[in-house]
Amino acid sequence: MPVQQKAKIYQEEWERRLHDVQVSKEDLNQLVMDYLVIEGYKTAAEEFSKEAGMESPVDFDSIENRMNIREALQRGDVGEAITRVNDLNPEILDTNPSLYFHLQQQKLIEYIRQGKIAEALQFAQEELAPRGEESPEFLSELERTMALLAFESSPMMPASVSELLSPAQRMKTAAEVNAAILESFSQGKEAKLVSLLRLLCWGEAMLEERADLPKGKQEDNNQMIAREKLTGA
């Protein structure tokens, strides 16, 4: 098959196309508010709500509740996080066995991290083993977690096992809980701004494959035009 020739887009046409894209201030405000709410910036969301003269899609107190749960998980206090989730809405864990298992898995990890081996073994046997028998996925995760005991602090510990003790593992669990809470409030699991940036990166990659675009100094000009649209200047 013949190679498809790239389209040529000249500087003047490129600038015209950029200037023709219109983004309303209201749409930008909605994107900012959505980001602040999803990511849990309560104070910033309150201030932005006043300045922009718009209402938040959720109660501001619910944002603080989510952040308290996230902070509890990030410092390893899984018990407090579970209590707070149940106080917020007990159906979140009752209807999401995968999320509940991951919270229990995180609790087991914290036992191991603290060197509470006896408690870890008992907890794994009583709380996680029965759930592992119900699901191959849960069993695989349980086996990976228990491998922490087998390797202890050995330098031979596989990365797939040692990563369970990293701060990123706590953040992963916290993000899963946060998404479940947002879903229970009929909110999106991810900020729309993040989705748009991902779509933008995909669009740029597709455009580079199919067209020759102005480069060099023009890239700086493009960025300036984008900033003007975002700031409303």
pLDDT tens readout for residues 77-89: 999 999 999 998 9
Q: What is the pLDDT of residues 158-217, one digit of tens each?
A: 999 999 999 999 999 999 999 999 888 766 666 666 667 777 677 667 767 776 666 544
Flag whether pLDDT at 232 surpasses 60: no
pLDDT bin (cut points 50, 70, 90) of residue 100 is very high
Higher local confidence (pLDDT), 213 or 117: 117
Average pLDDT, the chain: 81
Separation CA 202–CA 200 (nearest Å):
5
Closest CA to 178 of 85, 61, 83, 43: 85
Q: Which residue matches tokens 């196309």?
A: 17
Flag whether pLDDT at 108 surpasses 60: yes
SS3 at position 211: strand
Closest CA to 70 of 91, 41, 44, 28: 41
pTM to 2 decimal places: 0.69
Flag whether pLDDT at 231 surpasses 70: no
